[in-house]
Structure 1
């Protein structure tokens, strides 16, 4: 339908509608993409050591609980209680891994039952869950069990989320309605904003109301979050100014401040558009056309703190799809509510025939735009559901029941919208407006279920995690009894707990250094100082174990007199012990993504056609353009593959597989034998102190095969050691030489 003036003046020049691109679009990308890296949403326990209701033969040295996302260090807690309920130890978020709740266990826990209380505060959406788990030392004890986390939504959170979503949807819907529906249908250049002032006044009221509602919802969100973080009442949160701690000490506070700044900025823009509409009409028009992009930014801020960011399946893509889902819903609901409020004001002064034509013009355009968005809503909703439902039991969880209620509300809305679209040609304002209001009321009810869904914990997925016991072993070296455990014991970040005892008593005032070695690759970590966290308990954390296979843990124990004792442990690290934090997409995900891509192509096709027409392409120029695009894509793909191949070659050049592999564990016995063999067969090295000093200085970066070659063939002026040495004896010498490495 052609553009229609509200005064039905076909002689008046009408606008040439151009969707254009606002600079605010780049602001959205610059803000949403970095924040998406920093946030995830509403996590759950991925792995627990010790496992719930496990029976241990000996007390654990440390309790560790890995979550699917980062936690708020100031508000997350872990407590250990005995079976009488008394707290005997407490811990918090690990300094190296923000997704890990950990605590050292007291030494020599007696046999019995122990309860672990977990209270993680998730950094993304601020949700706090409280649950408890049980483990036993010695034998299991009956009558003691843990408590599961409450999976119900908090009503106050549902309220402010519903209010905030309504505000965001109204802002985006009203602004998009102006740019994409009202201007093409009713726009006329005789008006400064291309629409009559009575219509613009109503639009300004809607958007200003949305901003005020968003500010109020944001304030309520801060209060509710403070109550949850501190487990306190609203009165105490206000009287003790606890909200200030949340504001400056949490990621929720960071997002809250950023959202408030954007809300105030939007209010300033709206004021400028109204104040300068007479003096600078072009500025006012530009602001109005840029408001949809700002509304998309508001919705995006909600998406990066939603469930989608915590998806185990391509979280970046989940955020993008959830954003598209919310934008489509916002245009439909926000545009419908705005249209319902605008139509009486806009069409009231017109006669019946003009009113009917104007109504048909705007509703037909709005319906044409909503139709593909409804399909986008359904397909993107299917993709979102596939990210969180992995088994039939998930459907009967609180989240699954909330989603079912949402779907039950979607059906009548779709039926009502379809019926209204079919009856559009014969419709009048008196008949259409009540149906629009009914549809808007149903969508408001749907918005409430969406808020309830956002505030409801996700069902904990059954992640295929092998029950692999954490590597741990004990040995006696001299007077020391040494126990070492690697948690969780797979590739990735691990905590190494070392317990030192002498005569069954924990020993302190020792200095421990730890080194991890992959002998088959001839690679080793730097010596790391293990921190003394309790009497006899020393802890080191690192990500040096980067793949499965054979590994050595070397421990140097230095006493107060400077004496050094070596302990060495050999492990077979299993990839199954690693913490699994991702899952691959299944065929239904791929089909959903293809459907979303097709709908996006359909939506942007008109813009693409106008762009191609503006280029005035001929057959020859079109072929050249297609060839250039194809060659560019081939060059980019080929370049990426070439860079990846060069990186692999560079890695192989820096760290080639060793020609000879050290298969002798460098424990205290190997060092003693190596010293004896060195003194007996490499004594000539002492006659070349300068070359020997140069060799020792190369130890931090030297490989074992280099030292083996030096002992076998000599190096510089250092002669070869005795020819009659076996390979095993030479490796003992290598281990002894490496023990002389300086750690300063």
Structure 2
């Protein structure tokens, strides 16, 4: 019956958290705002104009950094035709304009843009095609080949299509290190302020264990964590510089690039705040390392100062993240949710990391009974903080994630959504693991430890009847000691493994940050240009990288403009596969035009079809991605040449 009640309690805990997560995922979907993405333009996408435009205007989802956001207009031969005056307008920080020459000749033109969000600092690239018709209403088609080159906006944006190149992987690594260090360091300050009882207990063993933990963090972890946090924040800045300079390290490290990133956007201002908080915390950590003998009052002041610095750090990280880029009435709620989510991660994940790396290694001294007593007492004090972190994370996490999504389908069709899905599963696994140790392992250890303490303690004779309870025999005491040791090791093993799941959650958070550009919404189409000439469609067959599937791809008519992409797949035995999802990611090889994604729909006959744009004649790379019902990914890549 006892175990049944514990399982029921655990079930109620998960039953409250999991439906809350699902409800928020399904019903709290808000407009997508991830990176400075193109919302609309004038001329619009695929527009055919009878009168040549004198300028091109574009509106984006977030405020732009005017010094590093730009665009250029090229013709079908990849020759720039704009006036090279692309700029963010002074009256609207989300609008960018570039002038065009008078009497632009009839033809097809491509606008290639690059934005840097002034809110979260992230860089995104993309392109829009429009046409100018001749007097007879037709659009002349160029027969010249595209001159290979990158143009002023060169580089690739693979993270937007769900891939990690060298630059985006570096950014992902730095962002993850920042999150990990912030969560661990702030979690440590919460432990020092609300869990450790350095001067508030008469229990000598407990006070000694708490003091060892505080000294161990101060001696071994404080300075390295803060130094790594400082370097990781600088690394985030370098990663943005690499993205801005197309992987050119020298240009990324130049003072001009740093000045553009730091002093021309809100992101830069709050990054400076983050660096300032870390530097102050480093000064305090150096002081505590050098000055070992300190008055008790000074230790208390330092503890509260560090806690305030931790909360300020969470605020700076929140204000330089995606939540600050959300617009409208929901912005305040999004920022508060993001801050609470970071606080919850510090309480729960950061606290578990502290418990595993700092506190548990100090419990190797003293008798078995004392170690178990200290462990159970400490876990009892930490549990309210962890529970608060669980509740806050269950509420704020899904809201913070879905505020950047505009459909539930994006959980499967985008790299951001898949990272979120994995993160949700990891959080559920962490909930289950925590529930097992709280509701099963810890009560078992507490019960057997009480029996062991009773057996090894000499009972007093009863004053009323003079009788003395029977003493446990030596074999019984030994058996209880063995049981206590086994239960204690089992509990500590779970406590050491729980932070691994927590770190995995933070890794998924880093991936979501890098892949947020994959949430780019579709831009409304304008009437397509009239096309002339006969072009041969592309037909190709190629395997996935793991050779589990063979892909048959058709691109028709295989010329610049709107094309129909058709895919069918066969398994390793040559049998057609129908219960899959298929997407095609399109990237121009001759110049950077961003990466577009096309989600193909099944026709019920084993084929998957959808329309997508090839905005210029030349060389394109198509990556076909297959998703199985088990949510495993298989992809194959092919290069094609598209006619004009």
5+ unaligned residues in a row in structure 2: which ranges?
1-32, 147-155, 446-486, 528-644
C-alpha distance after superposition, 1:346-398 (max 9, x if no partner): 32222111111111111122223312421221121222233223224422112
Question: For 2:97 and 2:40, how far apart are their aligned partners in 1?
Answer: 12
**Which of 376, 386, 399 lines up with 1:370 in the alignment?**
386
Contact 1:185 1:362 in 2 (8 A): no
Q: What are the equivalent positions in structure 2 for 1:337-352 lying under 5 Å apart?
A: 337-352=353-368
TM-score of the superposition, structure 1-length normalised? 0.53
Contact 2:198 2:211 in 1 (8 A): no
Contact 2:73 2:81 in 1 (8 A): yes
Partner of 2:97: 102
Partner of 1:692: none
Identify if the C-alpha distance between structure 1 residues 386 and 448 changes in structure 2 by more than 3 Å, giving closer, same or farther. Answer: closer
**Aligned partner of residue 183 in structure 1, secondary structure:** coil
**Aligned partner of residue 508 in structure 2, secondary structure:** helix
**Which of 52, 63, 72 lines up with 2:65 in the alignment?**
72
**Aligned partner of residue 183 in structure 2, secondary structure:** helix
Partner of 2:584: none
Partner of 1:44: 37
Question: For 2:305 and 2:196, how far apart are their aligned partners in 1?
Answer: 15
Q: What are the equivalent positions in structure 2 for 1:515-554 lying under 5 Å apart?
A: none
Computing the radius of gyration over CA atoms, which structure comes out larger, 1 or 2?
A: 1
Deviation, 1:275, is 4.9
Deviation, 1:41, is 6.1
Structure with greater contact order relative to length (CA < 8 Å, sep ≥ 6):
2
Deviation, 1:273, is 4.2
Identify if the C-alpha distance between structure 1 residues 148 and 210 changes in structure 2 by more than 3 Å, giving closer, same or farther. Answer: closer
Partner of 2:280: 265
Question: For 2:496 and 2:70, how far apart are their aligned partners in 1?
Answer: 48
TM-score of the superposition, structure 2-length normalised? 0.61
C-alpha distance after superposition, 1:507-543 (max 9, x if no partner): xxxxxxxxxxxxxxxxxxxxxxxxxxxxxxxxxxxxx
C-alpha distance after superposition, 1:217-262 (max 9, x if no partner): 1222222122122223224534787445544555544333322221
Partner of 2:212: 198
Identify if the C-alpha distance between structure 1 residues 466 and 115 changes in structure 2 by more than 3 Å, giving closer, same or farther. Answer: closer
**Aligned partner of residue 228 in structure 2, secondary structure:** helix
Kindly tell me the number of residue pairs found equivalent between the two proteins.
Answer: 428
- 2:510 aligned with 1:451: yes
**Which of 293, 308, 327 lines up with 2:343 in the alignment?**
327
Q: What are the equivalent positions in structure 2 for 1:137-536 lying under 5 Å apart?
A: 137-138=132-133, 139-140=138-139, 150-152=160-162, 154-183=168-197, 187=201, 197-204=211-218, 205-238=220-253, 242-243=257-258, 246-248=261-263, 251-275=266-290, 278-312=293-327, 314-395=330-411, 396-422=413-439, 423-427=441-445, 428-458=487-517, 460=519
Identify if the C-alpha distance between structure 1 residues 140 and 397 changes in structure 2 by more than 3 Å, giving closer, same or farther. Answer: farther
Question: For 1:267 and 1:197, how far apart are their aligned partners in 2?
Answer: 21
Question: For 1:199 and 1:306, how far apart are their aligned partners in 2?
Answer: 33
Question: For 1:143 and 1:382, how far apart are their aligned partners in 2?
Answer: 49
- 2:88 aligned with 1:93: yes
Partner of 1:83: 76
Identify if the C-alpha distance between structure 1 residues 133 and 172 changes in structure 2 by more than 3 Å, giving closer, same or farther. Answer: same
- Between 1:304-313 and 1:102-111, the stretch displaced more is 304-313
Identify if the C-alpha distance between structure 1 residues 303 and 140 changes in structure 2 by more than 3 Å, giving closer, same or farther. Answer: farther
C-alpha distance after superposition, 1:324-363 (max 9, x if no partner): 0111011111111111123344322221111111111111
Question: For 1:116 and 1:462, how far apart are their aligned partners in 2?
Answer: 18
Contact 1:169 1:330 in 2 (8 A): yes
**Aligned partner of residue 366 in structure 1, secondary structure:** helix
Deviation, 1:169, is 0.6
Deviation, 1:282, is 0.5
Contact 1:224 1:234 in 2 (8 A): no
Question: For 2:251 and 2:56, how far apart are their aligned partners in 1?
Answer: 33
Question: For 1:238 and 1:382, how far apart are their aligned partners in 2?
Answer: 36
Deviation, 1:143, is 9.5
Question: For 2:327 and 2:260, how far apart are their aligned partners in 1?
Answer: 31
CA-based RMSD: 3.2
Question: For 1:208 and 1:222, how far apart are their aligned partners in 2?
Answer: 21
Contact 1:406 1:449 in 2 (8 A): yes
Identify if the C-alpha distance between structure 1 residues 104 and 464 changes in structure 2 by more than 3 Å, giving closer, same or farther. Answer: closer
Question: For 2:236 and 2:403, how far apart are their aligned partners in 1?
Answer: 27
Partner of 1:568: none
Contact 1:187 1:194 in 2 (8 A): no
**Aligned partner of residue 124 in structure 1, secondary structure:** coil
Identify if the C-alpha distance between structure 1 residues 123 and 96 changes in structure 2 by more than 3 Å, giving closer, same or farther. Answer: same
Question: For 2:157 and 2:106, how far apart are their aligned partners in 1?
Answer: 24
**Aligned partner of residue 331 in structure 1, secondary structure:** helix
**Aligned partner of residue 130 in structure 1, secondary structure:** strand
5+ unaligned residues in a row in structure 1: which ranges?
1-39, 469-744
Contact 1:181 1:365 in 2 (8 A): yes
